[in-house]
Amino acid sequence: MHRFFEQLRILEERLVEMGGTVRLSIQKSIRCLVERNEDFAHQVIQTENLVNQLEIQIDDLAVTLIVLNQPVATDVRLIIAALKINTDLERTGDLAVNIAQRALALIQEPPLEPDVPIPRIAGRVQEMVENSISAFIQRDPDEARRVLLADDEVDRLRTSLYEDLARRMEGDGHAVRRALGTMTIVRNLERIADHATNIAEDVIFVVRGIDVQRRKESR
């Protein structure tokens, strides 16, 4: 049983590492756009391989945990949650690459103001990714619920920015391509926020299961 928790801790450390990596990728993809600096985008694209390797490592650790320890149902659910988080983080990494590629194209053209809200949305989304993983490591449903609230804020910011961009397009045909490119970046940020939300929902679900189990055991 001691060995099980030791191995679980290693798996969790890998998840934290992966979370930190994709969080940095989000940040760099947006810096490429805002600072109009291609280097950041290339760094993001180079990270994709590392993220894919981490995903495979984490999947392997989970299989080993199950096969060697024959865990009880509660622990199997915990491992399954870790696997789902793993998939969400890998796809988050892909979305950061999408943003980086789109940013590379956009900075070839004159900037389309206002793109001020984008760093703000990106900052909230990065926090959501970080906090959703932290909620899992701490088994903290309250932190997970704060991630769900942050998602509502991201949705509001996105809706308002979309409305601005749609009006720009209606008034100026020359702005259409750049506004569509900006929308694509915002949409990718929104999808990352959805992945963080999925992680937070998994945390709430799995912690509830652990609590139910503990109550049964303490009877």
Give per-residue burial for 12-48: e unless 16+ CB within 10 Å, then b. bebbebbbebbbebbbbbbbbbbeeeeebbebbbebb
Does position 212 interact with a copy of itself (CB under 8 A)? The reply is no
Does position 211 interact with a copy of itself (CB under 8 A)? The reply is no
DSSP 179: H
Q: Which is nearer to a copy of itself, 171 or 215 (CB)?
A: 171
Per the listing, tokens 């915002």 go with: 186
Does position 180 interact with a copy of itself (CB under 8 A)? The reply is yes
Does position 67 interact with a copy of itself (CB under 8 A)? The reply is yes
> Minimum distance between the CB of residue 90 and a copy of itself, rounded to whole angstroms?
10
Q: Name the amino acid, one letter, at 116.
A: V
Q: Which of these, 8, 14, 15, lies nearest to 69 by C-alpha position?
A: 8
The end-to-end CA distance of the chain, in Å, is 22
Q: Of 72, 105, 149, 212, which one interacts with a copy of itself (CB under 8 A)? A: 72
DSSP 172: -
Does position 110 interact with a copy of itself (CB under 8 A)? The reply is no
Q: Contact region for a copy of itself (CB under 8 A) — 20-28, 42-50, 100-108, 162-170?
A: 162-170
Does position 59 interact with a copy of itself (CB under 8 A)? The reply is yes
Binding site for a copy of itself (CB under 8 A): 59, 62-64, 66-67, 70-73, 76-77, 80, 83-84, 87, 166, 169-171, 173-174, 176-177, 180, 187
